[in-house]
Structure 1
Amino acid sequence: MTVNLDKGQKISLSKSGGGELSVVRMGLGWQAAARKGFLAKLMAREIDLDASAVLFAGQEPVDVVFFQHLISDDGSVRHTGDNLVGGAGQGGDDEVIYVDLQRVPAHIDQIVFTVNSFTGQTFAEVQNAFCRLVDESTGQELARYTLTGGGQYTAQIMAKVRRAGGGWEMAAIGEPAAGRTFQDLMPAIASHL
């Protein structure tokens, strides 16, 4: 059963039948919003959203996984590659980051997931954008955070997973931000650690 997350909501990442999740998939999907008018359609550009995962030890970023660094230094987090245009309305994941929770080094206590518009369009130009967490062993969608309302910002601090009581929990952050890369978002991320 999927939990639709609201901004600030947290869920445990323990399996409902007991035990801990081992590998989770953070999927990002989107498509360009339909443009109105003949000129707007002619001037339309593809929208390149990028998913990133920043690994933290306390307040310090120690690694990042994004389209130019696809695997964390320890190998526990892996990005499948850059999608430059998003979906065509199929609703699937356009970019994926896998996190092997059991392999994440003990000193890493939080992983923050971000989305940014590398091409600079605002989220007002994006539709059907979502971030979701899937139990990779079963394919079950555990949680979904939907970007709603568009907006005049170019990035979003989507969610984080953090160690909690010997396991992991996910929190939906949903904080709009400005920036084309994860580096641009680091000051905004700091307030959510």
Structure 2
Amino acid sequence: MTFPLRDEQGTEIVYLRVGLGWDPARRKLWGKHSDIDLNVAAMIYADTGLTDVVYHEQMLSTDSAVRLHGDNLTGEGPGDDEIITVDLTRIESYVTAVLFVVTCYTGQNLARVENAFCRIANSATTTELARYDIAAVSGTGFVMGGLFRPGGVWEFREINQGIEAKHPVEAAPELGRFL
């Protein structure tokens, strides 16, 4: 599914919010307990070349257009546990795509993570544009979709694919096929 970034009135959407949420691992009566640490990342491309990454170790893109607002290590709390905001008016002109990727830093298969979801919304109106149940995904990573700029106009393209990656660096080699 691909759709232009326009609201109900046809106005271009330029401020986006990508949210990631999940529930913490349940406490066990016996045995070792391990937390679940999911991460959301924005992989920024010029054609097929990776030019920038926004994730828990670099929370702001070089052009300041893409920002991660904190790193939740456990999934505690309601709603979005990690948020990336995107200001399309500030993205450098050479950028052609921004892919949104979720990875499980602690290595659990996403199918074992309770109530895991990823969504993209219009930041100005909070209207949700797309939502994905990633608890149904097999793999330690998930490629939600991306922002693409064919002909100079931004659009969102759904990818909705599981991958094997615990960190955005591990995900990078698998992403070229989605560009």
Q: TM-score, normalised by structure 1?
A: 0.86
Partner Cα distance (2:25, 2:173) in 1: 29
1:52 aligns with 2:41: yes
Partner Cα distance (2:98, 2:110) in 1: 23
C-alpha offsets along residues 64-84 of structure 1, whole Å, 9 cap, x if unaligned? Answer: 000110100011000001100
How many pairs align?
A: 179
Query: What secondary structure does 2:115 align onto?
Result: strand
Unaligned residue ranges in structure 1 (runs of 5+): 1-8
Structure 1 runs of 4+ with >6 Å offset: none
Match of residue 133, structure 1, among 108, 111, 120: 120
Contact 2:36 2:73 (C-alpha < 8 Å) held by counterparts:
yes
Following TM superposition, by how much is the alpha carbon of 1:185 offset from its aligned partner in structure 2, in angstroms?
A: 0.9
Contact 1:11 1:171 (C-alpha < 8 Å) held by counterparts:
yes
Following TM superposition, by how much is the alpha carbon of 1:52 offset from its aligned partner in structure 2, in angstroms?
A: 0.5
> In proportion to residue count, which structure has more strand?
1
Indicate how the Cα distance of structure 1 residues 149 and 143 shifts in structure 2: closer, same or farther if over 3 A, else same. closer
Aligned-partner residue type, residue 104 of structure 1? I
Q: TM-score, normalised by structure 2?
A: 0.92
Which residue of the partner structure matches residue 187 of structure 1? 173
C-alpha offsets along residues 102-130 of structure 1, whole Å, 9 cap, x if unaligned? Answer: 11111101000111110111113202111
Indicate how the Cα distance of structure 1 residues 175 and 150 shifts in structure 2: closer, same or farther if over 3 A, else same. closer
C-alpha offsets along residues 136-164 of structure 1, whole Å, 9 cap, x if unaligned? Answer: 1112112212214253x211112111113
| Aligned residue runs from structure 1 range 33-182, under 5 A | 38-39=29-30, 42-88=31-77, 90=78, 92-151=79-138, 153-182=139-168
Contact 1:53 1:114 (C-alpha < 8 Å) held by counterparts:
yes
Unaligned residue ranges in structure 2 (runs of 5+): none
Work out which structure has the larger RCO, using CA pairs closer than 8 Å and 6 or more positions apart in sequence: 1
Match of residue 29, structure 1, among 18, 21, 26: 21
Calculate the aligned-residue CA RMSD, in Å: 1.7
Contact 1:51 1:66 (C-alpha < 8 Å) held by counterparts:
yes
